Amino acid sequence: MKNLIIGIVIVGNFIVQSTALHNFSFLGVLPNTTLIIIIAFAIHFGEKKGAVIGAIAGLIQDIIFGRAIGMNALAYMLTGYFTGMMSQKIIKENIVTPILLTAISTILNACINLFFIYFLGFTTEVLLLFRETIIVEMPYNVVLSIPIYIYITKLINSKIMKQEYY
Amino acid sequence: MAKTAGKDRTIVIISIVSIILVVVMGITSVQRERITTIERWTGNVFAPVQNFVMTVTNTIVGEVASIIDIKNIKTENEMLSQRANQLEKEMVVLRLKRDELEELRGLKHALNYLYESADSNPIVANITAKDPGNWFDTFTVNAGTKHGVVKNSIVLDAKGLVGRVYETGDTWAKVVSIIDNNSSVSFQVLRDARSQGILTGSITNEISGYLFDPLFEIVVGDKLITSGLGLYPEGIIIGEVTEVHTSKSKLLKTITIEPAVNFNRLTKVLIVTPNNIHQLQEE
C-alpha cells in the first residue's frame, strides 16, 4: 500500500507539474515540486527509498520531455540519496529540516544537471543558469517545501499508509 | 557490522546505476531516428491524462482571466474593429496579389519546376504538457506518427514559428521550441531578403542572433522571417527586432527579437510535415 501511495503521489505530481503549474511561474521560473516531494520522502524513508523514488520520478520526466534520457533520473537519484543520508542526523519533526534540505538539494540537483547540460553540449550559459537557479528557484522551492512537507508527513502518518495488503 | 555492509552495498548499487544512466544519457543525447518501446508506451499512457488536465486547466485559467480582464474588453473591442477595417483594406490588395501568385504557380507547374516547401495539409494539435524544468523549452502535443507527424516536422502557430518536432510517439510528439537555448533558426529581414543571419534561443526565453552582414542597417521594429536555409521553409514569421547592438571589436551586429508567438499562452499548434521531395533530397 505504501509503495502504491508513493507512486500515485509521484505520478500525480508529475501530471500537475507539467500542465497546471505553468500558470504559477515567477519571473519566468517554475518551482520544482518533484524535487520537493522527493526530499520529503527521503527525509521520512531514508537514503535507499529516497534514491529509488528519485530515480523513478526522474525517469518519467526524462522519457516524456528529456533531450537526453537519464539526466533527471541521475540527478534526482543522487539528490534523494544524499538528502536521505543528511536527514538521519537531523530531527524530522522540525520544520527547519525540509527548508534547509530543500535549499541544499536545489543547488545539488542544479549542479548535477548543469554538469551534464554543459558536457553534452546543450548550452554554454551554465553559470547564468546556475545564478538564476539560486536567486529565483531556490527561494520558491523553499517556500513551497513547507506546505508540501507538512502534507506528506500527514499522509505518511495516516492509516492508509500502514495497511499491509498490496 | 551488518549495517555498514548494507550501506556499502547501497553505495555500490547507486554507483552502478549512475554509470548505466550516464551511458544511456550519452547514447540518447543525440536526436534519434526512432524511440524505444518503453518510451513510446510511457508517452501513450501519460499523453491522454495530461491532455485532459491541460484542457481543464486552460479552461479555468481562460475563465478567470476573462473575469479579471472585463474592463479591458471594451477598449479591446474598439481596437479590434479598427483593425478589422484596416485588414479588410489590406485584403483587397492581397487578393490582387494572390491572383498574380496563382498565375505564377501555374506557370511554375507548366515549367516542371520541382520545389514545394511544405505540403498544404497542416495537422492541428493541442499542447498536452510542458517541460516542468527551467532549462529546456520542450513541450508535447497530442499528435504523433498515427496522424502523420514525423521527426523534424515544423510547428507553427497562427502568428508565426513555434519550433520543430524532436521525437514522435504513436499519439504524441516532443516539440523543441525556438526559444530553447539549444535551437537555432536562420532568418532574413522581411523588407530586404538579402540580409540574413542566425538566431538562437536563450535561457531567458528571448531570442538573440546576429547578421551575416554587419553593415546592413537593421532597425528596431524590423520583422524577421525564416530564410529557407536549414530545416525551416522560407517565409515563416519569427518576430520583431527589439534591440540592436553593434560590437566594433567583433564586427558583428547582434540583435534581440521578440517572438511573434506568445509562448506562455500557447495552447494549439499547427504541424507541417516536410513533403516527399524534401525527404528525397535528404536521402
**Of the residues B63, B91, B114, which one is the last residue of a structural domain?**
B114
What CATH number has the domain bearing residue B232?
Answer: 2.40.10.340
Residue B178 at interface with chain A, using a CB cutoff of 8 Å: no
How high is the pLDDT of residue A125?
A: 74
Architecture of the domain whose range is A2-10+30-158: Orthogonal Bundle (1.10)
B14 vs A contacts (CB less than 8 Å): 51, 77-78, 81
Asked whether the beta carbons of residue B181 and residue A123 sit closer than 8 angstroms, the reply is yes
Nearest CA to A126 out of B132, B258, B181, B139 is that of B181
Residue ranges, chain A, pLDDT below 50: 166
What domain range includes position B205? 118-282
Q: For an interface test with B, give the residue of A22, A77, A114, A120 to mutate (most B CBs within 10 A).
A: A22
pTM tops 0.95: no
Clarify whether residues B71 and B134 are in a common domain. Answer: no
Q: Chain B contacts of A132, Cβ < 8 Å?
A: 134, 203
User: B25 and A22: CB-CB below 8 Å?
Assistant: no
Residue with the bigger pLDDT between B79 and B249: it is: B79
Residue A35 touches chain B, beta carbons under 8 Å: no
Which percentage of chain B shows pLDDT scores above 90? 3
pLDDT at res. B277: 40
Chain center to CA of A125 = 23
Chain B CB contacts of A17 below 8 Å: 132
Are the beta carbons of B264 and A51 separated by less than 8 Å?
Answer: no
Q: Three-state SS for B165?
A: strand
Q: What is the mean pLDDT of chain A?
A: 84
For residue B82, what pLDDT is reported?
92
Residue B252 has pLDDT above 50, yes or no: yes
Domain boundaries, chain A: 2-10+30-158
Query: What DSSP string describes B4-61?
Result: HHHHHHHHHHHHHHHHHHHHHHHHHTSPPSS--HHHHHHHHHHHHHHHHHHHHHHHHH
Nearest residue, CB atoms, B205 vs list A28, A120, A122? A28
Overall number of domains in chain B: 2
- Please give the ipTM for the structure prediction: 0.80
Q: What is the pLDDT of residues B134-163, one digit of tens each?
A: 777 888 888 888 888 888 888 888 888 888
CA distance B7 to A82: 13
